Chains A and B, each alone.
Chain A
């Protein structure tokens, strides 16, 4: 049981860690100052949530690892994040489309986790859901603004959606870890979040004049750790370089 819970907490923490790092790559490069600040703040929230999830994961594991050890001393095959969040930023539109798809799932997930039988999980979810509500609001506004914007911005948003769509399905797949969490009343069945997710996407894409791809093929292997895309390893060389060069260096 504690193995499954450790896995599950790593999935939550790795999602926010990897996406938080990706979003932080925009710092100093965003199209306008306000967006730069907004992206940096979103990244900060995600990294803060990562600390809560991975510290708890380390506590559950009981092997003396804290959030920093888990973040910086594991390699690709030990990461449990969704494939969606490790995808490269692309242009600003692609970054915001990735953010929207993740936020839409993330908020539903956190709302469900607020009713978790595990009090620590419920507390982290309650804290995070306030921040993620804000992220989703902003991502939605941006997707609608750019989708229903100029011909250029519309085409770029549609291209981003087409490119990222095959990574959506993984959020709703289940395995032994999920089943154990459902049995223990810790977490929801991933598939149970799909109807509300689809309903939100339909509303937003209608307003954004974007068309959801027909094909529901979904890549898998991120949350199980079996097969990450090539991008994660490259990202980790950047994110972890200091701890790789100077193990256990502190501030």
Chain B
């Protein structure tokens, strides 16, 4: 039986459907951590970069990638870790940013703080703490609607 190798475009499409385990509204490709997908002969090689070196989601992400691809019939698969260039929040896609905001997490901004409150859109916001519920987030608060919210750190 000859099974045709799926195109790289198809594989990217599959990966686009794999959610981030900690922020499931965005996918791994939204986050910008899939750096490359290549066929090495009949083995599919997926290159992944970690967001933070200690992020506990990293191993789950690798497991989710493997599970998804095996589910699509990929039998020979290797995952490669790439540290350099280091992941930056600039690699997050525009649709990823929009989905974060809709979910209530302020997306990363080059200015180093949220543009506005993800709920009421007020620009009167203040920092509570430089760290939040995961390594990639900080805690902020809206001084108008008084809601605390997560801000996705810009690194």
Q: Is the CB of A126 within 8 A of B86?
A: yes
A124-B83, A126-B83 known; A131-B52 Cβ under 8 A: yes
Name B54's contact: one of A37, A47, A119, A138 (CB within 8 Å).
A47
Point out residues on B near A: beta carbons under 8 Å: 50, 52-56, 83-88, 128-133, 135, 139, 153, 155
Given contacts A35-B129, A123-B83, A138-B131, 19 further A-B contacts (CB under 8 A): A34-B129, A34-B131, A44-B52, A44-B55, A45-B52, A48-B53, A48-B55, A51-B54, A52-B83, A123-B84, A123-B86, A124-B83, A126-B84, A127-B84, A127-B86, A130-B88, A131-B53, A134-B130, A138-B130
Also in contact, A127 and B83, with CB within 8 A (given A37-B132, A134-B130, A134-B155): yes
- Expressed in whole angstroms, the minimum distance between the Cβ of B43 and any Cβ of chain A is 22
Interface residues of A (CB under 8 A from B): 34-35, 37-38, 41-42, 44-49, 51-52, 119, 122-124, 126-128, 130-131, 134, 137-138, 141
Indicate if the CB atoms of B52 and A37 lie closer than 8 Å: no
Within 8 Å CB of A44, what residues of B? 52, 54-56, 135
- The contact sample of 24 A-B pairs, CB cut-off 8 A, is A34-B128, A37-B139, A38-B130, A41-B131, A44-B54, A44-B55, A45-B52, A48-B50, A48-B52, A48-B54, A49-B54, A51-B54, A52-B53, A122-B84, A123-B86, A126-B83, A126-B85, A127-B50, A127-B83, A130-B88, A131-B135, A134-B153, A138-B130, A141-B130
Question: Whole-angstrom distance between the alpha carbons of A35 and B129 in the complex?
Answer: 8
Q: Report whether B139 and A46 are in contact in the complex, using a CB–CB cutoff of 8 Å.
A: no
Whether A37 pairs with B129 at a CB distance below 8 angstroms is yes
Measured CB to CB, the closest approach of chain B to A92, in angstroms, equals 14
Contacts of A127 in B (CB 8 A): 50, 53, 83-84, 86-87
